[in-house]
Structure 1
Amino acid sequence: MDKFIQNLLLGSTILICSSNLFANTLSNGDVIKIWPNLAPGSEHLTLQEEVIERSKEPEKIKDRAVTKVITPTLTAYLPENPNGTALLVTPGGGYSRVVLDKEADELAPWLNTKGITFFVLRYRLPGDGHTNKEVVPLQDAQRAIRIIRYHAKYWNIHPEKIGILGFSAGGHLAASLSTKFNEIVYEKIDTIDEISARPDFQILGYPVISMKDPFVHKGSRKNLIGDDTSVDTQENFSLDLKVTSNTPETFIMHATDDKSVAVENSINYYLALKSKGIPVEMHIYEDGGHGYSIRGTKNKSVAAWTDAVTNWLKNKNYL
C-alpha cells in the first residue's frame, strides 16, 4: 500500500508546517504537508491523486507511481542513529508521474544505515493544470528544503548538511534547485520562506539536464515546458547553462548505455560545474541503462554507485 495512504488509514501524524506551528518531534513514516493551504498556483484545481502499479508481479516487487498530485508532501525516513546529514529525495517520472518505490522507499536500507535522515518529496506535476506549470516542481522543492532546514534543530539535522538526491527528471528538479535556489518562484507566505533553499550538496542519478536538442529527454521537455517553446525558454530550463559559482558541490552518476536520457546530459553538466570551479565528482559506468536506482544494478557496472556515493559523502564530511 502507498505509504502516504497507509499513514492516513493508520492515523499517523500529518504535520502541517507553518511559521507558528513547530514540529518538535518527527517519527519514521510521518507525512509532512509542505504548504499550510493549497499550494501556489493550485488554488483553482480539484484533483484526486492516483497511485498506479506498473509492476507485472506486484506481489514480488512493487513499481508504483503517483499522478495528479494536489497536496505536495514529504515522507520522513529516519535512521536509528542520525549523524546530522539529511537528504531531500526527488524521484523521477518524466514530469508526468512521481516514482514511489525504486527511487524512494527502497533507498532506506542504504541511506538510513549510514545515519542519513531523508525525505521523499511528492511534488506537483506540470501537466495537471497548475498556474505557471513549469515552476510548480521547483516551488515544491524550494519549500521542502526550507522546511527541513527550518526544523533542523528539532529533527537531529545539521542545517549545513542538507543535500538533495534526484533521479532522472527528479535529477532535473534537483539540479534546478541547486542552480535556481534564489529564484523567486512564489510569494513568501511565512517565516519558513526566509530560510535559504540552497542545498549544501547535490547527488544526481542519470539526470535530465538539457531541454535543448540533441540531448534532451523529449518527454520531460514536453511535460515541463512544451515542445514548441522558444530557444530562450529551453535555455532557461537547461541547467548546464545555469551553473554559477554558488552551485553546491556535486556527485553525478550515469550509464553510457542509457537510451532514455543521453549520458551527455551529465557530461555537459559536469563540464559546466568544472568551468565554475565547483567541486564535482562524476562516475560514468559502462552499462546499467536508465532508471536502475538500486534494484536494477545486479551484474552491471552501475552496481558500484552506492559505494561511490558513500565514499564521496565520507570524504566531504557528511558521514
Structure 2
Amino acid sequence: MDMERRTLLGLAAGAGMALSVTGARAQTIADGGRAGPADPTEIIRLWPDGTPGGEGVTVTPIVPERSTDPAFHDRYAQYTTDPILTVFRPERPNGSAMLLIPGGGYRWAVLDKEGYDVARVFAASGTTCFVLRYRLPADGWAAGADAPLQDAQRAIRLIRSRAADYGVDPKKIGVLGASAGGHLAGLASARTDAAYAATDAADALSLRPDLTVLMYPVATMADPYVHAGSRTHLLGETPSPERIAAYSLERMDWRGAAPVFLLHALDDASVPVENSLQLLTTLKAAAVPTEVHLFQEGSHGFGIRLIQGRPAQVWPDLVRAWAARLDFPL
C-alpha cells in the first residue's frame, strides 16, 4: 500500500476529517464533529499502475455528506476515478473475507449505509471486510457498463492474492452487494469471463466469489420490475433488448456459481421483490444452493441502521447461520 497515502488518511482521521482518495491526491471533507467510530485508515488501490480505459474521463471525484444528524455519517462517492478498497480488520480474524459493494443506482455508491456500517457488523464477528468504492458506468470509461464489473473482479482477485497477509482462507472470500451493488455482486458471481486484460500476477487467480449475499438486489434490467434509474445509468436511455438481456441477472447462466443468500422486503417500492423472486427461479434451475428471506416490511435500502427495532434487523444473524452451515464463518 502507498504509505504516503496511508499517512494522509491517518492524519485526516486524527483531525476529525473524512477522506476520499482520488488519483495522486487526497480530498478532505469536514465531518462536522460526528460521533461514532473513526473511518479505517487502510486502503488498497485497485489499479496502482493506472485505471484502465480512462482516456475520455474528465469527471472530478466528490464524496458529499447527506446526514444532518451528528450521530452518524451518510456519505456517497460519485465520479470515482481511482477505485479503492477500504479495509476493516477484525480484532480476531476468523479466516473469511467479505467484499462489500454498496448501492446507489449506478449513479453513486453510498459508503456508510451499505458499506462501512455493514462492514463493522461483520468485522465484529471476525470477518475481514473490504468496502469497494467503484467506478460508475456513465463517467466516460472505455468499458462502459463493464467498468464497475472490472473493479469488482479486480477486487476479488486482489483480496485472494493477499489472503495470507490478512489471515484469510483464499477459498473463503464472499461478496455482499446491496441494491445496484447487488446487481454488481450478481454480475461478479455469475460471469466467468474477465472484463479486463490481466495486469499482474493477481489477475491469474479466480475472479469469482465463494459465497454471495444479495440485499434487495437490482436483478433485472427488463420491464416491468426494473429499477429504471439503475438501468439508465448502467445502459443508457434506450438500451436494446439484447443489452437488457445481457445485464439481467435472471437471464444469466449461473451454473457452477457459489451459494447465494437473498434478502428483500415485500414493501420495497423502489426495487420490487420480483427482482429477487425471478432470480430465485433462475438459481433453482441452475442448482445453485440458495437461501431466501423475505420480510413483510423494511422498504428499500435499509442496511443496518434503518432496520433497528424491526423484524428485518436479524438479517446479519441469518446470513451468519446460513454461512456457518456452509463451513464459512462470518
Could you tell me the TM-score, scaled by structure 1's length?
Answer: 0.90
Change (3 A) 1:275 1:9: closer
Equivalent pair of 1:96/1:223 in contact (CA under 8 Å): yes
Q: Which amino acid aligns with 1:60?
A: A
Equivalent residue, structure 2, for 1:275: 285
| C-alpha separation in 1, matches of 2:55 and 2:158 | 21
| C-alpha separation in 2, matches of 1:187 and 1:11 | 36
1:111-260 to 2 correspondence within 5 Å?
A: 111-180=122-191, 182-260=192-270
Q: Which amino acid aligns with 2:130?
A: F
| C-alpha separation in 1, matches of 2:50 and 2:241 | 32
Equivalent pair of 1:203/1:250 in contact (CA under 8 Å): yes
Equivalent pair of 1:257/1:288 in contact (CA under 8 Å): yes
Equivalent residue, structure 2, for 1:33: 45
Task: Give the match's secondary structure for 1:104.
Answer: helix
Q: Which amino acid aligns with 2:290?
A: V
Q: Which amino acid aligns with 2:48?
A: P
Change (3 A) 1:100 1:6: farther
Aligned-pair RMSD on alpha carbons?
Answer: 1.8
Task: Give the match's secondary structure for 1:261.
Answer: coil
Structure 1 residue 202: deviation in Å?
0.2
Instruction: Give structure 2 stretches of 5+ with no counterpart.
Output: 13-20, 24-39
| C-alpha separation in 1, matches of 2:91 and 2:208 | 27
Equivalent pair of 2:100/2:177 in contact (CA under 8 Å): yes
Deviation string 1:71-125 (CA, Å, 9 cap, x unpaired) is 0000100101101100010000000001111111112432112110010000000
| C-alpha separation in 2, matches of 1:280 and 1:9 | 39
Structure 1 residue 46: deviation in Å?
4.0
Instruction: Give structure 1 stretches of 5+ with no counterpart.
Output: 17-27
Which of 250-259 and 297-306 deviates more?
297-306
Give the total of aligned pairs: 300
| C-alpha separation in 2, matches of 1:303 and 1:205 | 13
Identity %: 41
Structure 1 residue 7: deviation in Å?
6.1
Structure 1 residue 38: deviation in Å?
2.1
Change (3 A) 1:7 1:118: farther
| C-alpha separation in 2, matches of 1:257 and 1:29 | 37
| C-alpha separation in 2, matches of 1:208 and 1:187 | 27
Equivalent residue, structure 1, for 2:8: 8
